[in-house]
Structure 1
């Protein structure tokens, strides 16, 4: 029984178009290490790595609209300035928290897709095709979200950009550390040659072991992470409960001198604790 075979022609780069391929517009120059530059860079990477097809300015607009909506609803409900301010701050933060959740879920999906993708790349390399052809085949067969990023790299190669330059943004765009190893392996092979199949098979086994280790680590630290998240959420939730229950609660608290200073100290300590806990959680779940 005859079967149809898909023939992939060699990728013909178009060097004439390479000059018109521009870099992505960024909101941080990368030339300084100021706090504003780091915050802008973090916010921009958050939007790109989350997979949301929107600009950072659009996310900022959503934060502003969310803050206005929640703050306006609280003002209509209680007609209290302090509670309205508190609700507005929560509304400003909610879109950022949702984007962080989407980024984490997308990174986990990409990491789970990597072993199968690398295995398929090794099988394609066994057929004697060039590295560019193998990358094109795997990019077409890999589902989103990893396939979306690979097809973007494939389009860059078709515009005349070399393979190392085309795949260089992959780790930055996804935030997946394991992709650094894949990008390095493909770039070195493209420049110097070598046994690509053996390298890919070993890399596939390494990433599978890493996924297994991360799963065991997540299971072993689940109780600690849940406790840390509860400690972050509980203080603002208790304050919000008392504000909704009694609109004058926060006003009476801020009316006295000791209440104002105690509240200020609690906010500062809560912010410091939040930053510290988030750093610990982030370092323990690197992909």
Structure 2
């Protein structure tokens, strides 16, 4: 059991990291607002119209219940098939109960390797969902400028926005084509455009999609030229992708150094555990050594998170 003094020391050590993470979170929210303002300025939105855009953007950010949040996460990962969702829930439940059973009833009979595996088993479905979400967002980000160009051409040819979206749904492949098909399906059901676009933005969750949704909402409610704004947004998205690719090239050495610094301690621990277990006996069998090992692992994780946050540069 961990004594009170050790817990106090650990909390005292973690406090600066928690403060830093809070600062990073607040900075991230501020940067999102700055990105929205910058996009408005670059596409020619006047200062007097910005309040209308923020008012339309605000309902998109409203808080959701846990169930709606879970459904939203699955939508963002493209896992909307009920069979896939049921399988994920079953696997998640089985892994959770299996790990809980091992750790609660067999803890004293398990070696360190089995304990580590049992601890991380329940996180495998979440890791799969996270990977699918990132993969899908990258595909959407690549398709989005092409979609905007197609909408601009359709608008300049005399189509309305509804007709342009119908054309996109037929011509574009998944995942973006599938999302636009869902938009058209909801339109035929008579759902309001504001609700449809909010749901569309929730499923896609990329900054450009948020601005696209806000632009359509304002245009449908107040009128105005839509094609020039979407054309400029498409140009900015392509510039952003080019800048991100160049930034990755220029910061490759720094990112490799950060990854090495983050993984080297864990790699060293793994090497000592598998190839020199005698030297790890103090950390695995002695209560003081276990406390030191736990504190060290927690600090390593926080350090890796901070390194990743420091290297996250966006345009």
The TM-score, its normalising length taken from structure 1, stands at 0.71
Q: 1:195 aligns with which of 212, 218, 225?
A: 225
Q: Is the 8 A contact 2:79 2:85 kept in 1?
A: no
Q: Is the 8 A contact 1:167 1:183 kept in 2?
A: yes
C-alpha deviations, 1:13-66, integer Å up to 9, x for none?
Answer: xxxxxxxxxxxxxxx9737xxxxx6xx887665433222346777545435656
C-alpha deviations, 1:188-241, integer Å up to 9, x for none?
Answer: 211122222222211211111111122222222233333333444443444344
2:313 corresponds to:
284
- Equivalences, count: 244
Could you list the runs of 5+ residues in structure 1 that have no partner in the other structure? 1-27, 32-36, 73-78
Instruction: Indicate how the Cα distance of structure 1 residues 118 and 214 shifts in structure 2: closer, same or farther if over 3 A, else same.
Output: same
RMSD over equivalenced CA pairs, Å: 3.4
1:109 corresponds to:
139
1:218 aligns with 2:248: yes
1:30 corresponds to:
64
**CA separation in 1, counterparts of 2:214 and 2:176?**
17
Q: Is the 8 A contact 2:92 2:122 kept in 1?
A: yes
1:121 is displaced (CA, Å) by 0.5
C-alpha deviations, 1:132-165, integer Å up to 9, x for none?
Answer: 1111111221211111222112211111012232
Which portions of structure 1, spanning 4 or more consecutive aligned residues, are displaced by more than 6 angstroms? 40-43, 246-249
Comparing 270-279 with 244-253, greater Cα deviation is found at 244-253
Could you list the runs of 5+ residues in structure 2 that have no partner in the other structure? 1-61, 103-108
Greater helix share, 1 or 2?
2
C-alpha deviations, 1:78-124, integer Å up to 9, x for none?
Answer: x7432211122233334433432332222121111111111111111
In the TM superposition, 1:171-250 aligns within 5 A as: 171-245=201-275
SS in 1 for 2:239: helix
The TM-score, its normalising length taken from structure 2, stands at 0.65
C-alpha deviations, 1:65-84, integer Å up to 9, x for none?
Answer: 56759x99xxxxxx743221
